[in-house]
Structure 1
Amino acid sequence: MRKSNKGRIRAEKTQIILQAAEIEFVKHGYRGTSIQAISDAAGVPKANLLYYFSSKENLYAALLKNIISIWNQAFTEITEQDDPKKTLENYIHSKVQQAIQYPNASKIFATEIIQGAPNLKEYLQLETRTWLKNSCKIIESWIAQGKMKKVDPEKLIFLIWSSTQHYATYQAELLIITDKKQYQQKDITEISEFLCAMVLSGCGLSDHTN
């Protein structure tokens, strides 16, 4: 029981620190953000923060990895037996919801990629590359089973990534152009439905469910 409580407390503290770090990194960038500023924002003593994350670099890398993990979660446990229409639809809805409701994560990730992914290179080469290969194998299986039209699995996933992230990375521009102060749930639903219709149609799965 004690171990369980200790693990829960650690997970909660880690999440609090990551959330505070996300806000600070978006406001001030990597160079302009200090461990002290993050500890102040999180309400956690600096010594305690360094117990969970040994350095700013370590914390930043952990934040980036956490962002990717959350984004890909809806597509991580898919199987060859799953319905591709429902699975792709759920993934798109999840990605749009996350992108719009948590734009800071997308901004941090975009900045990292623009700079050449110095803090993410190893993770992308190992974890994300493996995730992509496994996901592509499942999609290839769906195609072989006749569940969906033949498409390039890799390009399909990249299309979903780019189209969903667009609404976060360019959120300020899109809100100004469309004369909105912020996205409402109605907007999120409409965006999700539009992207689902386009992607599923290209996969021969156009009669998607709401």
Structure 2
Amino acid sequence: MTTAKIRRSAIHEAIRDAAIREFARNGLAGTSTQVIAKSAGISKAQLHYYITSKEDLYQEVLGYIVSHWRELFSLSSALEDPAEAITNYIRRKIEHALDHPDVSRFFANEMARGAPEMGDHWGELRTSVEEANDTIRAWIDAGKIAPVDPLLFQINMWAVTQHYAEYEAQARMLMGVAPDQPMDADRITAEASALFLRRCGLDEKGRRI
């Protein structure tokens, strides 16, 4: 990759990250391109060289999040060991929520306002969910886990893991963690994993109970 391409890629990434931060805090209507440019460390003129409009940038970020989550969070990669797959899934979700809270907040804000911009992205999200549904059903059919509702099981895992991003201030206050200190990912993962493994009829070591 040439130096120019590396620089363009770095600017694109800076714009995307800035857009996630600002849209997460202020929403689409409350965010200006001037604010995004400042957050990205570039001029407004430079920003408009890379984007066509604020609305198109919002769509680009929304598509990036859906696709990135599909790559990061999969239940179909460890079919033989549901306990390992579920625990790893929960850990990845929690670590991502703690490390990149604005991503979860951006998406949650879009859902909270009725998801008006999600039209082009529901298909990929539904495909990802259906793939995981198939994996969970296969575990159930093989007798590896107790029967669960595959869809609601996933939704409930999202609710628990993303809570630490969407309600970070509350979690920090109740857990006694200062804003400049990291939350205990191991503690959160252990409790959430135990919760969902037991719903599947498994203990923390993956044994049927």
Shorter-chain TM-score tier: 0.7 to 0.9
- Report the counterpart of residue 56 of structure 1 in structure 2: 54
Whether 2:167 is the aligned partner of 1:170: answer yes
Identity of matched residues, %: 35
Change (3 A) 1:185 1:178: closer
Tell which deviates more after alignment, 36-45 or 114-123.
Answer: 36-45
Change (3 A) 1:11 1:156: farther
Tell which deviates more after alignment, 56-65 or 174-183.
Answer: 174-183
Change (3 A) 1:159 1:94: same
- Report the counterpart of residue 27 of structure 2 in structure 1: 29
Local SS of the residue matching 1:149: coil
Give the gaps of 5 or more residues in structure 1. Answer: none
Shift of 1:192: 0.7
Whether 2:151 is the aligned partner of 1:154: answer yes
Shift of 1:26: 3.5
Shift of 1:17: 0.8
Change (3 A) 1:157 1:55: same
Distance 1:132 1:11 in 2: 30
Q: State whether residues 18 and 63 of structure 1, in contact with CA within 8 Å, keep that contact through their aligned partners in structure 2.
A: yes
Distance 1:180 1:79 in 2: 34
Distance 2:183 2:28 in 1: 34
- Report the counterpart of residue 109 of structure 1 in structure 2: 107
Distance 1:77 1:142 in 2: 11
- Report the counterpart of residue 96 of structure 2 in structure 1: 98
Distance 1:74 1:149 in 2: 26
Change (3 A) 1:183 1:73: farther
Q: State whether residues 73 and 92 of structure 2, in contact with CA within 8 Å, keep that contact through their aligned partners in structure 1.
A: no
Deviations 1:79-129 (A, max 9, x none): 4744221111111001111112222222222211111001113312x1101
Instruction: Give the TM-score normalised by structure 1.
Output: 0.84
Shift of 1:34: 1.6
Of residues 136, 140, 143 in structure 2, which corresponds to 1:139? 136
Tell which deviates more after alignment, 141-150 or 109-118.
Answer: 141-150
The structure with more helix, counted as a fraction of residues: 1
Q: State whether residues 14 and 40 of structure 2, in contact with CA within 8 Å, keep that contact through their aligned partners in structure 1.
A: yes
Paired residues for 1:78-89 under 5 Å = 78-79=76-77, 81-89=79-87
Whether 2:195 is the aligned partner of 1:192: answer no
Distance 1:45 1:185 in 2: 33
Change (3 A) 1:161 1:183: farther
Deviations 1:136-182 (A, max 9, x none): 11211122222222211111111110111112111112222333213
Distance 2:145 2:92 in 1: 21
Letter of the 1:97 partner, please give it: E
Whether 2:119 is the aligned partner of 1:121: answer yes
Q: State whether residues 80 and 142 of structure 1, in contact with CA within 8 Å, keep that contact through their aligned partners in structure 2.
A: no
Over the aligned positions, Cα root-mean-square deviation in angstroms equals: 2.6
Give the gaps of 5 or more residues in structure 2. Answer: none
Instruction: Give the TM-score normalised by structure 2.
Output: 0.84
Between the two proteins, the alignment pairs up a number of residues equal to 206
Letter of the 1:206 partner, please give it: D
Q: State whether residues 177 and 183 of structure 2, in contact with CA within 8 Å, keep that contact through their aligned partners in structure 1.
A: no
Q: State whether residues 96 and 164 of structure 1, in contact with CA within 8 Å, keep that contact through their aligned partners in structure 2.
A: yes
Shift of 1:205: 2.5
